[in-house]
Amino acid sequence: MYKAPETSRNQGFPLMDRISKLPDSVLCHILSFLPTKHAVATSVLSTKWQFLWTNILNLDFDSSLCFNPRNTENSKNKMSFPEFVTRVLLLHNSRCIKTLRLKCGGSCERRHVDAWISTAISRNVEVLELCALIGVDRLPHRFFTCKTLVDLKLENYVTIRVPGNMCFPSLKKLQLISVSYDNDESFTELISACLVLHELIIRRSEHDYLVLCNISSPVLKSLKLIFGSNASGFKPYLYNYKLKVYAPALEYLHLDDKVSMDFSIGELTSLVEADIHLYDNELGNDNQYLDSVVKFIGKLSQVKFLSLSINITTPLMSATLFAIPLFHNLIKLNLQVACCQWHLLRTLFDRADNLEVLVFQKTTCKLTTHQACWIEPHQAPTSLLSCLRTVKFLGFEGMRDEFEIVRFILENGKVLKSMEIYGIRRLPIQRKV
């Protein structure tokens, strides 16, 4: 006699374990996206799952996932985080570890981190991420000669102490987030040891012991630098922080810098896109600093897409801008300016003769009163007459100089298709354009 399959009382569908019927390779791939603690926990599902996790290629260990035995009732039966990681690596079957992510808390010691990294290197690790919530003042020597690393991220309390020899022949992406360096030379040698580096991301902290940030990489294509998101700990009046970049193959540059007092930038003839944010700092009125900033902007003359925010309000800034070269390739400009910086907009208007899209945002000025500094050019720029098609004005307050800029663009934009104006507050009817 035919017997219908059992069904769920709530759903009315047959009770079937379709996931377990998938091939082991597919199940391992799915498990590789989970934190390793959760992947190991699947071993209790059935005999099929018991050792499946031992074949995953991506290992993700996070000490914040309730590994503290003191927080549990049965502390005698609970593993500490170091014990768990060590046991997983011991039972792991695969000869290869593709990815190892380590977020190490207070229960870890340097000897644990050394052993885990050494194990991963012996199994040809390709992606290594180390976020240390404890002080890791030295990495194992074999780390600095790893031939298989393709992607490396070091974060927080990690100190780079360079041994005698160092080489990363396969490393293409490097992220250094709030790490420290033994000295300037340690940083310089680390970057130089990455022979095929394509992408570099650096976020500096005030305790990184780095004065000269020297980046030299002939094959680097993407560079993102964030210096001093919290600049209070940096002391430019004590240390002359410098940024030096030699990267002739660079295609993308992002720089957000509240720290550097001197810029030495090599030729950037391959640069396509740049996103630059510079600020007043304690020595921002120094002539040498302003000259260095303008020379740096001049190195960006080959870009097609430029986002620029130079929050330097000193009058000397406007005088030095005339040294900026032509931006023949620039087709989109995103500019942030204060009320006392309209000269920057005018200068770039004159220098970008093929500009098609202009987005400019008026930001808060440090000056206590509004200072209009817009001087209408005697002759409309070439880009405005023949190229400019789209304009967006953000932060419009209805000031007289703002209306003058809008009228100037509307009157001279011969091929202008759209102009959008976004005010910070609603304007009275009689003040609308």
Dihedral sign from CA coordinates of 150, 155, 160, 163: negative
DSSP label of 14 = B
CA triplet 368, 373, 376: central angle to 5 degrees?
160
pTM over 0.85: yes
Give residue 186's pLDDT. 94
Dihedral sign from CA coordinates of 78, 84, 90, 92: positive
CA distance 166 to 23: 42
Give residue 329's pLDDT. 96
Give residue 337's pLDDT. 78
Give residue 2's pLDDT. 47
Burial 266-303 (b: 16+ CB within 10 A, else e): eebeebebbbbbbeebeebebeebbebbbebbebbbbb
Tell me which residues of the chain have a pLDDT lower than 70: 1-16, 66-77, 229-238, 280-286, 312-322, 339-341, 364-374, 425-433
Every domain of the chain and the residues it spans: 326-433
The residue type at 317: M
Contact 382, 353 (CB under 8 A): yes
CA distance 10 to 413: 66
Count of other CB atoms within 10 angstroms of residue 74: 7
Helices and strands counted in the chain (H then E): 10, 18
Any residues with CB less than 8 A from the CB of 11 and at least 6 apart, and which?
A: none
The residue type at 422: Y
Give residue 265's pLDDT. 96
Give residue 266's pLDDT. 96
Rg of the chain over CA atoms, in angstroms?
28
* pLDDT tens, position by position, 214-267: 999 999 999 999 997 655 566 655 678 899 999 999 999 999 998 898 999 999
CA distance 279 to 16: 62
Give residue 429's pLDDT. 46
Contact 383, 353 (CB under 8 A): yes
User: DSSP letters of 46-94?
Assistant: -TTTTTGGGG-SEEEEETTTT--GGGSTTGGGPPPHHHHHHHHHHH---
Give residue 314's pLDDT. 56
Give residue 312's pLDDT. 66
Give residue 133's pLDDT. 78
For residue 60, how many C-alpha atoms fall within 13 Å in the half-sphere facing its CB? 11
Contact 88, 36 (CB under 8 A): yes
Q: Is 319 helix (H, G, I), strand (E, B) or coil?
A: helix
For residue 291, how many C-alpha atoms fall within 13 Å in the half-sphere facing its CB? 3
Give residue 107's pLDDT. 76
H or E stretch covering 412: helix 400-412
